[in-house]
Structure 1
């Protein structure tokens, strides 16, 4: 499943929601329950629609621990894949690698770091909300220009 597939699934799930997004919806979006066997780097790259180079970089940056099989090839356990789903979502939303490294170090530091993790995610949420407002304004400007040139505006896809 590629990033586009994951995003399509996520957006479809969001369309089913009446009212505020619940934690249950978020769990469904992040569900990797069907992953029980270790995956190769090629399989994970295809699943997340990232390059193998990106996965190796995340490993070198200390963001994810990857086991090796008896032949020395990378073997991604379900926990590593779940972490990579989170990491790729955060990168897509603009979180810097250094911030992800700090966040992962906090996760690895145990439950006593939950308040600091929460603060980081609250701050990042504010950043994402600002980006959404900015993109909404940019979309409105684009729609205006399309209408100016005689094109059709609104959702066509």
Structure 2
């Protein structure tokens, strides 16, 4: 009986320790955007915790322009701390090739980047985190805004040109009749 109580107490202690050090990932909510919507996501890690395998994503429900701001924020960082961040961020469109965002948060500095994309309906934009948090831990935030993709002026000129051709054909037909 005593052994069972000790085993239960040990299991509870291990669960409490591992939950205190668990990385937190909060994805976009909702994970599907239409033009004019905005949202955010984040991943948070405690000191020296590994980000490998963490990702956030969103999907476009219609053609839209997305603008995402990505920021790495170290917690309780001191300038002379030798325990630097080793976080690397990348992104992929529709689960394609991963491309680096090129943010350098080494030396417990803050790093940020901006990523703009034209997305079609059903496109999925994913962000991946790799590396280790610094001595104070880190939070990586993603803030996204969306807008409708504007019709280019060339498209309007094309439509006007087609309309002009149709009007000329009608005028010719009317003059022949």
Q: TM-score, normalised by structure 1?
A: 0.22
Higher relative contact order (CA 8 A, sep 6+): 2
Q: TM-score, normalised by structure 2?
A: 0.20
Q: If you compute each CA radius of gyration, which structure gives the higher value, 1 or 2?
A: 2
Which of the pair is proportionally richer in helix? 1
Which of the pair is proportionally richer in strand? 2
